[in-house]
């Protein structure tokens, strides 16, 4: 007897389709086209969906369940219920950067403090429906945190693989949820290669960003849906998004296109910008050189969550940046640190190095005339600064250390 996924396991999703040649494959733990090895993505047959139906849903990503590859009863499956994070009107940061209308989509407040909880919730649903035995990932840190937490809550064994030089807080934030945190002596690209080998050898392992990557990637669409809904069901003019594998950026674009097609927002032109660190800039380099091929790099940057030297979706990021008249820009580690501190001091939001990259790139895009400061702009803060404390620990600290009496306070002259 066949024990395939139950009926409706993937909601309105109907197939996996190849991004390169359009070949369609059944929904399942597949990620490469059998014809051309191109990446597969989820294709849907959407029914009519109204704003009111979405607004009546829960205050998490499942309000968009009709637009995701998840079953209609997804709310019954334990997961971390991420999403519907704040969209902050960032007047102070806007004034500092010279941008008239600026918002920060603050995904640092997700259950494990990064946007990865969104993608993991969708991957977990697929893993459950496919009957997977182990929930796993190669990770630059945040993904491992999200996988370990979601697996714990769902009662599924997890195994998460990270580069051994990862920030300590990110290691602890995984190990607190799982006994199987594996530190690999190598960079992320080495860890990723190992994960592909394990996925091919071990039966029933769902590697969220490898063999269930098409389902995983769809979770990032919810960032775009939320931005549109929180702006009052309309699209912004410009969005700035950090780029590691590039998946998130491509899915925010996909989400905007779907909202237009479904008539949930008015069609309009918008620009999508990608943000990278100079110490890991393969997509920014290709963008500036005007070439289509991405040459892998060996990462060396404090933005470890963005340190993917051979980004799987890099070529699609290039396409989208060019098609929408956006750009992919890069900043140095010094600028990243300054970006973290600037966001904290202007908006009271403590971001990690990825967010510092996004803020600093936004500044550079304005200064170089690539981003129009008169247009409505949203930047995405993808993670929390408490996970990358070391990045700024030398730059901020006590203004003075004083004896516990008023004279000492006065003498310190801190006002
Ligand atoms: C993973 C990650 C990203 C980049 O995501 P991709 O979809 O791989 O481009 C950005 N910011 C943070 C904090 C991340 O953890
Ligand atoms: Zn193909």
> Helix and strand tally (H, E) in the chain?
14, 13
List all residues 6 or more positions away from 109 whose beta carbon is below 8 Å from its beta carbon: 85, 86, 384
Q: Which of 108, 115, 191, 313 to mutate to test the pocket of ligand 1 (most atoms within 8 A of CB)?
A: 115
Q: Which of 223, 358, 382 to mutate to test the pocket of ligand 1 (most atoms within 8 A of CB)?
A: 382
* pLDDT given at position 4: 78
Q: Using the structure block, give the residue that is written with the tokens 């580690």.
A: 333
Apex 121 CA angle, 305 and 1, nearest 5: 130
Residue owning the nearest CA to atom 4 of ligand 1: 244
Residue owning the nearest CA to atom 2 of ligand 1: 305
Q: Is the CB of 236 under 6 A from ligand 1?
A: no
* pLDDT given at position 336: 98
From the CA of 114, which ligand is nearest? 1
DSSP assignment of 21-41 equals: T--EE-SSS--B-TTT-PBEE
Q: Which of 245, 280, 304 to mutate to test the pocket of ligand 1 (most atoms within 8 A of CB)?
A: 245
List all residues 6 or more positions away from 390 whose beta carbon is below 8 Å from its beta carbon: 167
Query: How far, CA to CA in Å, does 254 sit from each of 39, 218, 259?
Result: 15, 9, 9
Distance CA 356, CA 337 (A): 6
Map out the domains of the chain as residue ranges. 87-111+219-391
How far is ligand 1, taken at its centre, from the CA of residue 411, in Å?
46
Third-level CATH fold of 87-111+219-391: Rossmann fold (3.40.50)
**Would you tell me the crossing angle of helices 282-289 and 314-323 to the nearest 10 degrees?**
40
DSSP assignment of 289-329 equals: HT-S--------SS-GGG--SS-TTHHHHHHHHHHTT-EEE
Contact 59, 72 (CB under 8 A): no
Please give the helix or strand (H or E) that residue 14 lies within, else none.
strand 13-18
Q: Is the CB of 282 under 6 A from ligand 1?
A: no
Query: How far, CA to CA in Å, does 352 sit from each of 113, 210, 381, 388?
Result: 10, 25, 8, 6
Which of 133, 129, 134, 154 minimizes the C-alpha distance to 4? Answer: 129
Q: Is the CB of 383 under 6 A from ligand 1?
A: yes
Alpha-helical segments (H) within 133-246: 142-154, 168-175, 188-201, 213-218, 221-230
Distance CA 382, CA 85 (A): 11
Tokens matching residue 211: 């063999």
* pLDDT given at position 3: 64
Dihedrals phi, psi of 280, to nearest 5 degrees? -160, 80
Per-residue pLDDT tens digits of the chain, which is 415 residues long: 456 788 999 999 999 999 999 999 999 999 999 999 999 999 999 999 999 999 999 999 999 999 999 999 999 999 999 999 999 999 999 999 999 999 999 999 999 999 999 999 999 999 999 999 999 999 989 999 999 999 999 999 999 999 998 889 999 999 999 999 999 999 998 999 999 999 999 999 999 999 999 999 999 999 999 999 999 999 999 999 999 999 999 999 999 999 999 999 999 999 999 999 999 999 999 999 999 999 999 999 999 999 999 999 999 999 999 999 999 999 999 999 999 999 999 999 999 999 999 999 999 999 999 999 999 999 999 999 999 999 999 999 999 999 999 999 999 998 8
Contact 367, 378 (CB under 8 A): no
Q: Which atom of ligand 1 is nearest to the CA of 142?
A: 15
The dihedral formed by the CA atoms of 400, 404, 408 and 412, expressed in degrees to the nearest 10 = 20
Distance CA 108, CA 384 (A): 5
Chain mean position to CA 205: 22
Q: Is the CB of 114 under 6 A from ligand 1?
A: yes
């Amino acid at each position: 007897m066949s024990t395939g996924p139950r009926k409706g396991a993937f909601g309105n999703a109907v197939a996996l389709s190849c991004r390169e040649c359009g070949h369609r494959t059944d929904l399942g733990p597949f990620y490469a086209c059998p014809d051309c090895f191109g990446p597969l993505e989820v294709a849907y047959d959407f029914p009519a969906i109204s704003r009111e139906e979405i607004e009546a849903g829960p205050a998490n990503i499942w309000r968009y369940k009709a637009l995701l590859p998840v079953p209609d009863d997804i709310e019954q499956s334990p997961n971390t219920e991420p999403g519907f994070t704040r969209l902050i009107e960032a007047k102070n940061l806007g004034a500092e950067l010279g941008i008239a209308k600026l918002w920060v989509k603050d995904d640092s407040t997700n259950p494990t403090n990064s946007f990865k909880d969104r993608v993991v919730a969708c991957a977990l649903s697929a893993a459950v429906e496919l009957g997977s035995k182990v929930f796993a990932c190669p990770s630059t840190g945040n993904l491992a945190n999200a996988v370990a937490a979601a697996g714990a809550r769902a009662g599924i064994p997890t195994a998460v693989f990270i580069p051994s030089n990862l920030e300590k807080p990110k290691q602890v934030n995984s190990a607190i949820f799982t006994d199987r945190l594996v530190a690999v002596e190598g960079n992320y690209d080495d860890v990723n290669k190992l994960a592909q080998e394990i996925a091919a050898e071990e039966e029933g392992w769902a590697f969220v960003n490898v063999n269930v990557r098409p389902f995983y990637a769809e979770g990032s669409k919810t960032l775009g849906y939320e931005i549109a809904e929180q702006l009052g069901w309309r699209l912004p003019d410009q969005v700035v998004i950090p780029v590691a594998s590039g998946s998130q950026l491509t899915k925010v674009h996909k989400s905007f296109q779907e909202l237009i097609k479904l008539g949930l927002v008015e069609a309009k032109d918008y620009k999508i910008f990608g943000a990278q660190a100079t110490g890991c800039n393969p997509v920014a380099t290709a963008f500036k050189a005007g070439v289509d091929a991405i040459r892998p790099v060996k990462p060396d940057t404090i933005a470890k969550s963005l340190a993917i030297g051979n980004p799987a979706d890099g070529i699609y990021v290039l396409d989208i940046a060019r098609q929408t008249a956006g750009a992919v820009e890069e900043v140095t580690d010094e600028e990243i640190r300054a970006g973290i501190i600037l966001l904290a001091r202007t908006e009271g939001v403590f971001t990690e190095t990825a967010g510092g990259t996004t803020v600093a790139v936004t500044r550079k895009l304005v200064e170089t005339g690539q981003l129009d400061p008169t247009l409505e702009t949203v930047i995405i803060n993808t993670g929390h600064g408490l996970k990358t404390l070391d990045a700024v620990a030398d730059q901020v600290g006590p203004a003075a250390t004083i004896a516990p009496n008023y004279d000492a306070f006065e003498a310190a002259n801190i006002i």
